[in-house]
Amino acid sequence: MEDTETDDDVTTLEGPIEDVDGKLTMRIPLESGGKELISCSSGIGQVVGSELHVVIPPWFAEKLGIAVGTIVVVDNRDGKLNIYPEYGEEN
């Protein structure tokens, strides 16, 4: 089967990890692309008002080396919610 996904089909956003009710969470405004991530965030994401809240399980945060304040990138490539830390330019 041929991969027909194009970059136009992928939503990519970045933002900080926050502490929301004691859980590591990324809050994504629905109007800024969160709507496109709802279907692939089943199980860890939930719509709260005008935002998609994606809760990062502690084991996954440890694996990625992320904590409150870390800037992460999320996308829906391959129909999955992909989360990874944003690394700045290397010196």
- Per-residue pLDDT, averaged over 23-31, amounts to 96
Q: Answer whether 52's CB lies under 8 Å from 61's CB.
A: no
Q: Is the pLDDT of residue 29 over 90?
A: yes
- Per-residue pLDDT, averaged over 72-90, amounts to 85
Evaluate whether residue 67 is within a structural domain: yes
Evaluate whether residue 78 is within a structural domain: yes
Evaluate whether residue 52 is within a structural domain: yes
Please list the alpha-helical segments (H only) found in the chain. Answer: 34-37, 58-64
Q: Is the pLDDT of residue 5 over 90?
A: no
- Domain containing 41 equals 12-85
Helix then strand count (H, E) for the chain reads 2, 7
Evaluate whether residue 73 is within a structural domain: yes
DSSP string for residues in 20-35:
ETTEEEEEEEGGGTHH
Evaluate whether residue 74 is within a structural domain: yes
Residue 89 has what pLDDT?
Answer: 40
Evaluate whether residue 7 is within a structural domain: no
Residue 76 has what pLDDT?
Answer: 95
Evaluate whether residue 91 is within a structural domain: no
Q: How confident is the prediction for the chain on average, in pLDDT?
A: 88
Q: How far apart are CA 25 and CA 28, in angstroms?
A: 10
Evaluate whether residue 2 is within a structural domain: no
Which residue do the tokens 């084991």 mark?
59
Residue 87 has what pLDDT?
Answer: 76
Domain count within the chain: 1
